[in-house]
């Protein structure tokens, strides 16, 4: 196959999902898991911690209890896609770990409503906590 017949489309600027937007190493996941800051609804559970940068990064934690690999991969694809499409509207400077809530069904429209609300709630909570600790010092 030559390059001219390769019809793969590259994502337009701002729509990709580069490695810099992902939590990839165990210590990054551990840092978020050690945080007590989380928010949940009927669809998702999200944990967060500030990362000291202007970039919000995503990590996924979907265990085998959610189903076979096909189901887990479907959840991963949906959550990544929602994050990718909405990342410009999300607060910056957070590391997030997202997982589905037990019993939730994997639907794009519901994930798209849930994720930004939970991330905004976490962002307010983290900034409130940071302001309290700064005023105590």
> What does the domain layout of the chain look like in residue ranges?
20-136
Determine whether domain 20-136 maps to CATH 3.90.1150.10: no
- With 0.85 as the threshold, say if the pTM is over it: no
Residue 44 token pair: 């998702």
Tell me the per-residue pLDDT of 61-115, one tens digit each, with 9 for 90 and over.
999 998 999 999 999 999 999 999 999 999 999 999 999 999 999 999 999 999 9
pLDDT bucket at 127, cuts 50 / 70 / 90: confident
- What is the per-residue pLDDT for 14? 54
Q: What are phi and psi of 18, to 5 degrees?
A: -70, 165
Mean pLDDT of 42-50: 97
Could you tell me which residues come within 8 angstroms of residue 10 by beta carbon, excluding any fewer than 6 positions away?
16
pLDDT for res 29: 96
Crossing angle for the helix pair 69-86 and 108-136, nearest 10 degrees? 60
Cα distance between residue 19 and residue 58, in whole Å: 10
């Amino acid at each position: 196959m030559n390059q001219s017949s390769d019809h793969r489309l590259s994502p337009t600027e701002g729509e990709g999902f580069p490695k810099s937007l992902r939590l990839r190493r165990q210590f990054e996941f551990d840092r978020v898991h050690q945080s007590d800051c989380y928010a949940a609804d009927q669809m998702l559970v999200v944990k967060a911690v500030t990362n000291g940068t202007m970039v919000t990064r995503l990590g996924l934690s979907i265990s085998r209890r959610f189903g076979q690999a096909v189901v887990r991969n479907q959840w991963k694809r949906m959550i990544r896609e929602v994050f990718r499409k909405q990342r410009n509207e999300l607060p910056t400077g957070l590391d997030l770990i997202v997982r589905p809530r037990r019993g939730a069904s994997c639907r794009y429209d519901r994930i798209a409503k849930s994720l930004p609300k939970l991330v905004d709630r976490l962002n307010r909570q983290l900034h409130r906590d940071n302001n309290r600790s700064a005023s105590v010092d």
